[in-house]
Amino acid sequence: MSRIKFGILGGDFRYKILSELLKKDGYCVNCYANSFSVNTVENVAGLTEVSDVIIAPIPCSKDGKTVFLPEGEGVELQELTSEMDKCSDRILIGGVMTENVRSAASVYGIKVYDFFEMEEVAVLNAIPTAEGAIQTAMEESERTIFGSKAIVLGYGRCGKILANMLKGIGAQVSVTYRKESDRAYITAYGYNPIPFKELVSYIGDFNFIFNTIPALVLNRDVLKKLSRDTLLIDLAQAPGGTDFSYARNLNIKALYCPGLPGRVAPYTAAQVLKDAVINISISNMG
């Protein structure tokens, strides 16, 4: 296994920890353009030349043209993928791997893997996301979560774990649902099920609102119903599910909290990513 050579391109503090964990396991790791690590190569060409697998940032690209790197490190997606022709195994792993990324990679036969499409990563990342959301709620509110009324919008991976944690610290938890199967589970776990289509009728009753749905669900019609002392925390993938501009006009405290795993628990997040990249690499080289 130690023959695999990883190249880490960009990334946040968890990528620094990721490089250390991979090295500890005996893998060769080189880094370029990570703000928290010392560059071991001079440019992208140098990185791909000594790597089997490239680990790209989360997100890999924000504009669909360039790799998401620190200011001043302009690297075109096309440049990255063309240079990856030097990589013996042509494997690119990162976060939010859009069609632009996949299209640029397909020209060179590069296999693309998205952290956010891996069930094992998504589920385990939901844990620090939920903890970070609760930590933020405790820091930003003048009331305790214990005894408060909290609603979780969405009953996916993060919604399930967040609802369980909120109940565990004494909140009165409601969860929205669209599918009857979700309603059954929500009821079985002791939460109050609310049909999503009826959200506007109930939304004014809550002290804390946690959104996990990556669509504009907290629109003007919904926000108008909120109490002014409600704390709204949006955890959905960019750009979130809240009309933040309108929330500000209403003087509602609405916080967008993307990337919580990397900020509140970078070591745990890095461990999750490490297991994923090793498994992908070994399966492709086996």
Which pLDDT score is estimated for 24?
Answer: 96
Please state which of the four CATH numbers 3.40.50.720, 3.40.50.970, 3.40.50.2000, 3.40.50.2300 is assigned to the domain occupying 121-262: 3.40.50.720
**38: CB partners within 8 A, 6+ apart:** 31
Predicted TM-score of the model (pTM): 0.87
Average pLDDT over residues 234-250: 95
Which pLDDT score is estimated for 286?
Answer: 57
Strand order in the sheet with 91-94: 28-32, 5-9, 53-55, 91-94, 111-114
Evaluate if residue 1 carries a pLDDT over 70: no
**Hey, where are the domains in the chain?**
5-117, 121-262
User: Tokens 């690119």 sit at which residue?
Assistant: 92
Evaluate if residue 67 carries a pLDDT over 50: yes
Which pLDDT score is estimated for 87?
Answer: 77
Per-residue pLDDT of 170-180, as tens digits, reads 999 999 999 99
Evaluate if residue 2 carries a pLDDT over 60: no
149 phi-psi bin (left φ>0, alpha ψ -120 to 50, beta other):
beta
Same fold across 5-117 and 121-262: yes
Which of the four pLDDT bands, split at 50, 70 and 90, describes residue 145? very high
Evaluate if residue 73 carries a pLDDT over 90: no
Mean pLDDT of the chain: 94
Which of the four pLDDT bands, split at 50, 70 and 90, describes residue 85? confident
Q: What Rg, from alpha-carbon coordinates, does the chain have? A: 21
Per-residue pLDDT of 31-49, as tens digits, reads 999 999 999 999 999 999 9
Average pLDDT over residues 189-212: 97
Topology of the domain comprising 5-117: Rossmann fold (3.40.50)
